[in-house]
Amino acid sequence: AEHAEQYRADAVFSLGEASELEEAARRLYAALRSCDEQGATYIVAEACSREGLGAAVMNRLLKAAGHRLIQVGN
């Protein structure tokens, strides 16, 4: 949600605030299903903390990406 307006794409999904990982986890599955239904070629996602629930969110993203990760920025 914090940076959603900065992305230019056919579809942009906000998973919520970075501090609300429980909500992000819930929204992630719906967003991934929607990307699949729309035939998305690429999915760009911002990383979150890899601790606690953040680890589960990041694990799901990595799994959806076939463990292919391109790191940009900080």
Say what the pLDDT of residue 74 is: 63
Residues making up the chain, counted from first to last: 74
The CA distance from 33 to 10, in Å, is 15
Read off the pTM: 0.76
Beta strands in 1-74 (DSSP E): none
The DSSP secondary-structure symbol of 2 reads -
The pLDDT tens digits of the residues spanning 36-58 come to 999 988 888 888 888 999 999 99
16, amino acid identity: G
The pLDDT tens digits of the residues spanning 5-39 come to 888 888 888 888 878 899 989 999 999 999 999 99
Give the distance from CA 1 to its chain's centroid. 11
